[in-house]
Structure 1
Amino acid sequence: MDDNVKQRLVGAVVLASVAVIFFPSLFDEPDDRYIGGQSQIPAAPEIKPVQIAEPIRPEGIAPAPEPQAMYQLVEEPEPVTPSVATPAPEPSPEPPTPVGLNDQGVLRGWVLQVASFSDQAKAEDLQNRLIKAGHTAFIRPLVNSKGQQVVRVFVGPKAERQALVAIKAELDQSLKVNSLIREFKP
């Protein structure tokens, strides 16, 4: 086809589309829209104050004592306890880890590393299973020492390390894993 014919056809299509768009607006009657100056919001209702009767003290209830009398300490005689030989205390299996701040001044916490996955979907699946089981679970992606991207699944954090020991035993048995208790790093 000749270029002149192509240009004429394109021009005809453009003119036809412009006519289709603007032709109806030329022959439509203009809309007379009126915006009223009156508000359609009803007037504020009249609110009457409610009178509440004074409370009536039921019979048989004594009035409260004066504040000075309420807070005075009553001295009680110390009970005399006979001295009995006390057995030596049994050593605890694991001393409790002190709750407080770590070296950086951040509140110390503990987490349970349940598993590591190279697949993000598997990690999210385990996280959702742990959450449905009632645990606080989260995931963290990182690059391991071999340069591979891994996603770790954690439960916690807890303020005391001892609180995770029971959870570790439960999850190790139910998931057949060997989880690790680690210090929480936010």
Structure 2
Amino acid sequence: MASKFQNRLIGTIVLVAIGVIFLPDLFDGKKEHYQEQFASIPLQPEIADQEEYAVIPEPEFEDVVLPQEPVSAVIGDEGFKLTSDSKMAAVVKSAEPLAVKPQPVELPKANNINSGWVVQLGVFRNFENAHRLVADLRKAGFQAHVFPKQPKLGDLARVVVGPDVSKDKLSDQAVQLEKLTGLKGQLVRFNPLNP
């Protein structure tokens, strides 16, 4: 026969097993099962026969007679004339005579002869120092810039004041700039294509 200790040990093992198996289900409470809910695509609604649809009219074409040869246009004192190689095809008289004056086209000059001037104050390796000087100059009321605007590795920063078309005005500013910054500026031509 089994001793009291063995009976108690078996009873304890059975109770622990029941607790391990059934107690988690009791303490979980109501179990929720999540299911994905799919929204079904509605069927195509029935179209009522009573609806009216707009009818797009057919395009209208006109017969146009084009000349066989190339046509050139001439504007003169008499009005507007269309001519082809086989003499004049049509003459259209306008209510007012057209006065067209040809505008002279100015081409860019070589070496920017008529470009403006700038006062170059210095060339800096450190862009922060150049930007600090430009900020001080702008606070003093000067039009100052750092070139190049977007530097690459190894580029040097040039600080300039200007541009201005008046060389005399900038030379007067160069004296003021020397008193303000202590840098002797150099007057150079401004190249708008490569500042």
Please confirm whether the aligned pair reaches a TM-score higher than 0.5, indicating the same fold: no
Q: Which has the higher contact order (CA 8 A, sep 6+)?
A: 1
Q: TM-score, normalised by structure 2?
A: 0.39
Structure with higher Rg: it is 2
The answer to which structure has the higher strand fraction is 2
